[in-house]
Amino acid sequence: MIDLHTHSLFSDGALIPSELVRRAEEKGLTAIGITDHGDLSNLDFIIPRLVAVAGYLNSCMDIHVIPGIEITHVPPSLFAQAVDVARRLGARLVIAHGETIVEPVAPGTNRAAIDSKVDVLAHPGLISEADAMLAAKNGVCLEITARKGHSLTNGHVAALAKQVKAKLVINTDSHAPSDLIDMEFALRVVRGAGLLPNEFEAMQDNASEFIKI
């Protein structure tokens, strides 16, 4: 299983990257994205460290580590700038903190993230059909999440993605060891969103595109 969306203590996660990766490996994951929360104040602190840790862990572990960032609560007008800075600093996976219904994310964030061609729009909440269509056009993956609260709109996201043929991925948004899941639980989350096991396989194929040796 591939999980593209997790957090270490470089933002608000509980674990150092090495322990996060080891615990994910024990759960049976084959690849993990470490995508700590970032804005224009800390991208230059987080990303080089995750690039470095991914380099040495990938040299000696079977699980593959993808260094990334979750652009979080950045005003829509600054989103493109933040994404550009993140990619120039070496982030191989850029996730956007979408308009979840359980946080006061600025309206227009989903659209700004999609316009900026992030890799994954995390927990996009009650995403509009127009934004979902643009995500499909721009190749932006929409997230089905195992994270409590954020997962309340999984059914809406799944149904709309199927309607407009947008790509989906399933992630945990892990902040603590208890948030990590195995493939069996991931399949339950997928089924709970109204999707089928073969669609889970397609989601994993979508996630595998971000693994570059």
Residue 192: helix, strand or coil by DSSP? helix
pLDDT of amino acid 212:
72
Question: Helix 79-88 crosses helix 43-58 at what angle (to 10 degrees)?
Answer: 40
According to DSSP H, which parts of the chain are helical? 17-26, 43-58, 79-88, 109-115, 129-138, 154-164, 183-192, 197-208
pLDDT greater than 50 at residue 60:
yes
Confidence (pTM)? 0.97
The gap from C-alpha 200 to its chain's centroid, in whole angstroms, comes to: 16
User: What average pLDDT score do residues 69-93 get?
Assistant: 98
Q: Which residues pair with 102 in a beta bridge?
A: none
pLDDT greater than 80 at residue 204:
yes
pLDDT greater than 60 at residue 213:
no
Token match 């982030």: residue? 91
The two three-digit tokens of residue 143, written as one number: 């997230």
Could you give all domains of the chain from N- to C-terminal order, each with its CATH number? Answer: 2-208 (3.20.20.140)
pLDDT digits (tens, 9 = 90+) for 84-111: 999 999 999 999 999 999 999 999 999 9
pLDDT greater than 90 at residue 12:
yes
